[in-house]
């Protein structure tokens, strides 16, 4: 084991600063050496003592403390990752323009490692052209700026501008560190500027207000694809069918229930997408009739049969009618027998560019954290993905998608 990865956690002055405590805790508990660099105004929300105690390191705001150690240069130079959470509109503006009037902004200028910004502010401030241009500038220079989440803001208003869940910001950091550790720096964010649409989970086809036909897909593979795509710089729309997982940081999450709702959401999002990945388990059939009231059992009577009808095949449809020239379409298939042969014929039948074939069976059950698969490509290549975390499969898939874009 080498030394612990060195992370600088920059905290700027927004109410979401308290959430950075949880991010810090996750970073330290998973073996990172963290130095917190708060801005002066952020100390109105969380005090220096909290950062020092949680990180085990001094937390100073100014370049004038411990000057003999030249902190304004040393901290940035020595970092493996700088993450600023929350990043206010003011901090983003300073970073975009190279201002350096405190320790955090100096650190951002001296860092040569990946830099992640997790902005949080009111919707108006986020949408202001000044902020949007600063964000674009930072992204162009290779920084990863995570899209804020939509939800409750300070006070009573809701909208875009919330800091994503700290555990999800942590996941982005972990990913970026892992990739830069493999020599793929953040400046090589190969999905930067791309819009990717991912469907995840399993659809439910209602029979009556309380019952449905469904499947056991947890959505974990689709969420892993969303997380990894965010960490590689993509704008991500995640169409989530009946999942119970936290929203991945930076992804725009659209919730759906049935196959028809999923189709509508995917087609809408795919209109300007560079890639569409259909990881969701979409029901092939739905009940013909929906009972508006709960279906009751009748004494002494056999149950009425359930008549089913075919759902549209979303993957085949988007493959046949690409919303953009060169749009990359990826499907998933679960097979129990003749995995490769079935996969190859399904790839041709669906008309997609890549098909991830899973063998389902023992140990490879729905809901697990691991997966094993083969990525089949329309040009005939076959890439085996060894048994491992769903995120490893996700990264291997993006490795195949990125050069096709
Ligand atoms: N899919 C879809 N629309 C459907 C059914 C499936 O878009 N109505 C997509 C899934 O998201 C997945 C792929 O198609 O990417 C799976 O194909 P499918 O033919 O459903 O595979 P299996 O479920 O394995 O079905 P079968 O082997 O019975 O054909």
The CATH number covering residue 329 comes to 3.40.50.10300
Global pTM value: 0.94
pLDDT of residue 366: 64
Instruction: Specify the number of domains making up the chain.
Output: 2
- Is the peptide bond between 86 and the residue preceding it cis, with omega within 30 degrees of 0? yes
Asked whether residue 142 is domain-assigned, the answer is: yes
Contact between 26 and 172 (Cβ < 8 Å): no
- Per cent of the chain over pLDDT 70 is 96
Q: Whose CA is nearest to atom 3 of ligand 1?
A: 313
What angle (nearest 5°) sits at the alpha carbon of residue 229, between those of residues 223 and 230? 90
Q: What is the mean pLDDT of the chain?
A: 93
Q: Which of 215, 242, 311, 371 is catalytic?
A: 215
Residue 347 annotated as part of some ligand binding site: no
Among 111, 146, 180, residue at a domain's last position: 180
pLDDT of residue 298: 87
11-20 core/surface letters (b: 16 or more CB in 10 A; e: else): bbbbbbbebb
Q: Are residues 171 and 247 in the same domain?
A: no
Q: Whose CA is nearest to atom 14 of ligand 1?
A: 315
CA of 98 to the centre of ligand 1 (A): 50
Name residues contacting ligand 1 (CB within 6 A). Answer: 259, 278, 280, 282, 284, 311, 313-315, 331-334
Range of the domain at 148: 6-180
- Token representation of residue 141: 């220079």
Q: Whose CA is nearest to atom 28 of ligand 1?
A: 284
CA of 280 to the centre of ligand 1 (A): 9
Separation of alpha carbons 111 and 7, rounded Å: 11
Q: Are residues 400 and 263 in the same domain?
A: yes
Lowest mean pLDDT across 119-123, 194-198, 337-341: 337-341
Question: pLDDT tens for residues 42-73?
Answer: 999 999 999 999 999 999 888 777 777 777 78
Confidence of residue 132 (pLDDT cuts 50, 70, 90): very high
Closest ligand 1 atom, residue 346 Cα: 19
Asked whether residue 189 is domain-assigned, the answer is: no
Asked whether residue 312 is domain-assigned, the answer is: yes
Asked whether residue 394 is domain-assigned, the answer is: yes
Residue 346 annotated as part of some ligand binding site: yes
Q: Are residues 136 and 283 in the same domain?
A: no
pLDDT at 111 over 60: yes
Q: Are residues 207 and 301 in the same domain?
A: yes
Confidence of residue 378 (pLDDT cuts 50, 70, 90): very high
Among 124, 150, 180, residue at a domain's last position: 180
Lowest mean pLDDT across 52-66, 212-226, 318-332, 358-372: 358-372
Separation of alpha carbons 327 and 234, rounded Å: 15
pLDDT of residue 82: 98
Lowest mean pLDDT across 146-150, 287-291, 297-301, 359-363: 359-363
Asked whether residue 246 is domain-assigned, the answer is: yes
> Could you identify the residue written with the tokens 């590689």?
232
- Per cent of the chain over pLDDT 90 is 83
Q: Are residues 228 and 339 in the same domain?
A: yes
- Residues facing residue 389 across a β-bridge: 370
Separation of alpha carbons 210 and 224, rounded Å: 30
Lowest mean pLDDT across 222-226, 287-291, 367-371: 367-371
CA of 268 to the centre of ligand 1 (A): 20
Asked whether residue 188 is domain-assigned, the answer is: no
Q: Are residues 118 and 203 in the same domain?
A: no
Q: Are residues 396 and 319 in the same domain?
A: yes
Asked whether residue 187 is domain-assigned, the answer is: no
Q: Active-site residue 215, yes or no? A: yes
CA of 216 to the centre of ligand 1 (A): 14
Residue 315 annotated as part of some ligand binding site: yes
Q: Which of 346, 349, 357, 360 to mutate to test the pocket of ligand 1 (most atoms within 8 A of CB)?
A: 346
Q: Whose CA is nearest to atom 8 of ligand 1?
A: 313
Q: Are residues 390 and 286 in the same domain?
A: yes
pLDDT of residue 184: 65
Residue 43 annotated as part of some ligand binding site: no
Separation of alpha carbons 78 and 356, rounded Å: 40
- H-helix or E-strand containing 15? none
Separation of alpha carbons 165 and 121, rounded Å: 14
Mean predicted confidence (pLDDT) in 10-19: 97
Beta-carbon contacts of residue 254 (< 8 Å; ≥ 6 apart)? 237, 238, 239, 240, 265, 269
Q: Are residues 72 and 139 in the same domain?
A: yes
Asked whether residue 351 is domain-assigned, the answer is: yes
CA of 319 to the centre of ligand 1 (A): 13
| E strands, 66-221, in order | 81-87, 115-119, 144-145, 149-152, 158-162, 195-201, 205-208, 211-213
Question: pLDDT tens for residues 263-283?
Answer: 999 999 999 999 999 999 999
- The domain that holds 171 is classified in CATH as 3.40.50.1950
Quickly list H helices, 232-292.
259-270
Residue 156 annotated as part of some ligand binding site: no
For the chain, what is the total number of helices (H) and then of strands (E)? 13, 19
Q: Are residues 251 and 353 in the same domain?
A: yes
pLDDT at 143 over 80: yes
Q: Are residues 228 and 118 in the same domain?
A: no
**Three-state DSSP state, 9:** strand
Q: Are residues 142 and 215 in the same domain?
A: no
Which class for 94: exposed (0-12), middle (13-18), buried (19 or more C-beta within 10 A)? buried
Among 129, 146, 180, residue at a domain's last position: 180
Confidence of residue 1 (pLDDT cuts 50, 70, 90): very low
Dihedral sign computed on CA atoms, order 211, 212, 215, 219: negative
């Amino acid at each position: 084991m080498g030394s612990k990865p060195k992370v600088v956690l920059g905290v700027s002055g927004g109410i979401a600063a308290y959430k950075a405590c949880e991010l810090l805790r996750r970073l330290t508990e998973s073996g990172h050496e963290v130095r917190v660099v708060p801005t002066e105004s952020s100390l109105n929300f969380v005090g220096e003592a909290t950062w020092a105690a949680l990180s085990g390191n001094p937390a100073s705001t100014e370049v004038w403390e411990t000057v003999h150690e030249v902190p304004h240069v040393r901290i940035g130079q020595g970092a493996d990752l700088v993450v600023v959470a929350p990043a206010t509109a003011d901090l983003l503006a300073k970073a975009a323009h190279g201002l350096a009037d405190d320790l955090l902004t100096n650190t951002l200028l001296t860092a040569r490692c990946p830099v992640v910004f997790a902005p949080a502010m009111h919707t108006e401030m986020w949408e202001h052209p000044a902020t949007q241009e600063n964000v674009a500038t930072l992204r162009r220079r290779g920084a990863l700026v995570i899209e804020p989440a939509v939800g409750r803001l300070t006070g009573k208003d809701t909208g875009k501008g919330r800091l994503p869940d700290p555990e999800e910001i942590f996941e982005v950091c972990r990913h970026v560190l892992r990739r830069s550790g493999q020599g793929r720096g953040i400046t090589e964010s190969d999905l930067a500027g791309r819009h990717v649409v991912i469907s995840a989970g399993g659809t439910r086809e209602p029979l009556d207000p309380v019952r449905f036909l469904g499947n056991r897909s947890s959505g974990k593979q689709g969420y892993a694809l969303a997380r990894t795509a965010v960490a590689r710089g993509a704008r991500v729309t995640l169409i989530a069918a009946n999942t119970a997982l936290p929203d991945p940081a930076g992804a725009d999450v659209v919730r759906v229930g049935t196959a028809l709702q999923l189709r509508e959401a995917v087609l809408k999002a795919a209109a300007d997408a560079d890639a569409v990945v259909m990881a969701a388990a979409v029901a092939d059939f739905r009940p013909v009739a929906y009972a508006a009231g709960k279906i009751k059992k009748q004494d002494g009577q056999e149950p009425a049969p359930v008549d089913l009808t075919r759902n549209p095949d979303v993957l085949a449809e988007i493959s046949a009618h690409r919303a953009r020239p060169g749009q990359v379409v990826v499907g998933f298939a679960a097979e129990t027998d003749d995995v490769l042969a079935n996969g190859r014929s399904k790839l041709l039948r669906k008309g997609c560019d890549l098909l991830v074939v899973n063998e389902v069976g023992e140990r490879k059950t729905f809901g697990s954290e691991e997966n094993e698969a083969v990525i089949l490509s329309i040009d005939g290549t076959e890439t085996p993905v060894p048994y491992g975390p769903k995120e490893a499969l996700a990264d291997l898939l993006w490795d195949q998608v990125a050069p096709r874009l």
